[in-house]
Structure 1
Amino acid sequence: MALRRALHFVFKVGDRAKTATFYRDVLGMKILRHEEFEEGCKATCNGPYEGKWSKTMVGFGPEDDHFVAELTYNYGVGEYQLGNDFLGLTLQSSQAVRNAKRLGWPLTEVGEALYLTQAPGGYPFYLVDKEQPSSDPVQKVCLGVSDLQTSTHYWTKLLGMKVLENNEEKKTVLIGFSDSQCKLELHDNSGAVDHGTAFGRIAFSCPREQLPGLEALMKKENQKILTPLVSLDTPGKATVEVVILADPDGHEICFVGDEAFSQLSMVDPKGNELLDKAMAEDKSDEWFAKHNKQKAAA
């Protein structure tokens, strides 16, 4: 399955300005593209919401060879409740560590040359205090699972990943489609997985021709399909086809046809400017303050 590739993880954000500061100024990522939508997404990209929302892709380099973050912002929703499903994203950048210290962003040393910090909303990020590699600095995403054996079987036998490392002491299994891309670490929670309302989604690409077969395999194996094969439109950009699955613990997994996604995900030189413009024009915080109300908590 070398043709399959890890793309991004979706984070729901309640405070776009603080979130932009974290990714741009602390981590040192770039805004790759920014898109505004007037109504909810057919594949519930923005969660179970019908209203106006935005999507911002941020990363250390282009989406065709870097694992990035997709920041989903629903106008009018100020916070989300974290579960124990997303356990951290690990990246290697001593520059990010220096940035955090300079800006006074909270850092906790949790190991040798390893720091824990949090994105706004409480999402854990692990920073390896070593020089940023010329390749993608994002090393792995860690997800909590209730049964390590069951989850490992699902991700390897059904989705085609390979086991790269098995740590019985830490109750973790490291898997991936190849050694050269962002890995997925499964961590046994020793109990049920709670997705809260902040539940994210991990995305992968594959050749478009594999999507119907993947969907058919999940039906045959009686696995959950959240969104059967569907076309998603982005204003002025390529239309992509996706299938959205759920693993045994309900982690959302999006597979997208690679050919159209390559067109959709081209870096937009105006991305930074579009995000700043959208944030400047978003008067929702002022409106809620003026009416002495609080933004909804999802």
Structure 2
Amino acid sequence: MRLLHTMLRVGDLEKSIHFYTDVLGMQLLRRKDYPEGRFTLAFVGFDTEDKTAVIELTHNWDTTEYELGTAYGHIAIEVPDVYAACETIRKNGGKITREAGPMMHGNSILAFVEDPDGYKIELLSPSRQD
């Protein structure tokens, strides 16, 4: 068994694709419209789907926003340098919601960013992940 993808419902597919590709540096792997169901699926990731888990962005054509609820936490991404990643993300128009720094009660260096729909993404240093 292996993890294939995580699905996120998004209100504006173009904004979301821009964020995940131009701000976070992922690649748009595939995209397909389903006119009969009135939705589009776009898959983004740092590598191909046969090598790593990816994110499925689901855009329902008649919905422009979603309530995230209280159960969703975040997606975590390992980056070589959390401080540098924050600067790059900020330079590319991304929203940093927790600046890079040590984890409270732990040893990891982390930060949080937010995508256009408000989904939280944690950036973690590779050295320690508490």
Instruction: Give the TM bin, normalised by the shorter chain.
Output: 0.7 to 0.9
Provide the residue aligned with 2:28 in structure 1: 31
Q: Which amino acid aligns with 1:83?
A: G
Q: Hey, what does 2:9 align to over in structure 1?
A: 12
Q: What is aligned with 1:245?
A: none
Rg larger in structure: 1
Q: Is the 8 A contact 1:26 1:96 kept in 2?
A: no
Deviation at 1:96, TM superposition (A): 4.0
Question: Could you tell me how far 1:67 is from its partner in structure 2?
Answer: 1.1
Equivalent in 34, 49, 54 of residue 68 of structure 1? 54
5 Å-filtered alignment, 1:74-223, equals 74-93=60-79, 94=81, 96-107=85-96, 108-109=98-99, 111-112=101-102, 113-129=109-125
Hey, what's the Cα distance between the residues in 2 that align with 1:122 and 1:110? Answer: 19
Give the structure-2-normalised TM-score: 0.81
C-alpha distance in 2, partners of 1:39/1:127? 37
1:8 counterpart letter in structure 2: H
Q: CA deviation at 1:37?
A: 0.5
Secondary structure of 2:70 counterpart: coil
- CA distance in structure 2 between the aligned counterparts of 1:103 and 1:61, rounded to whole angstroms: 21
SS at match of 1:61: coil
Deviation (angstroms), 1:111: 4.0
Partner AA of 1:65 in structure 2: K
What one-letter code is carried by the residue in structure 2 that aligns with 1:120? P
- Distance, in Å, in 2 between the alignment partners of 1:123 and 1:100 is 15
Q: In 2, distance between residues paired with 1:63 and 1:22? A: 19
User: Residue type matched to 2:47 in 1?
Assistant: G
Q: 1:25 to 1:54 in 2, by over 3 A?
A: same
Q: Distance in 2 between matches of 1:27 and 1:120?
A: 12
C-alpha contact 2:76 2:123 (8 A) present in aligned 1: yes
1:104 Cα deviation from its structure 2 partner? 3.8
- Output one character per residue of 1:180-236: Cα deviation in whole Å (capped at 9) or x when no partner: xxxxxxxxxxxxxxxxxxxxxxxxxxxxxxxxxxxxxxxxxxxxxxxxxxxxxxxxx
Structure 2 SS opposite 1:100 = helix
- Is the contact between residue 26 and residue 45 of structure 2 (CA under 8 Å) also seen in structure 1? yes
Cα deviation 1:100-153 (Å, max 9, x = unaligned)? 12124221226423111111111110012569xxxxxxx9xxxxxxxxxxxxxx
Q: TM-score, normalised by structure 1?
A: 0.37
CA distance in 1, matches of 2:124, 2:44: 19
Structure 1 residue ranges (4+ consecutive) displaced by more than 3 angstroms after TM superposition: none
Paired residues in the alignment total: 119
Residues 13 and 117 from structure 1, CA distance in 2 versus in 1: closer, same or farther, beyond 3 angstroms?
A: same
- Counterpart CA distance in 1 for 2:86 and 2:94 is 9
Work out the percentage of aligned pairs sharing the same amino acid: 35
Matched, 1:54 2:70: no
> RMSD in angstroms over aligned alpha carbons?
2.2
* Closer/same/farther in 2, CA of residues 5 and 126 from structure 1, 3 Å limit: same
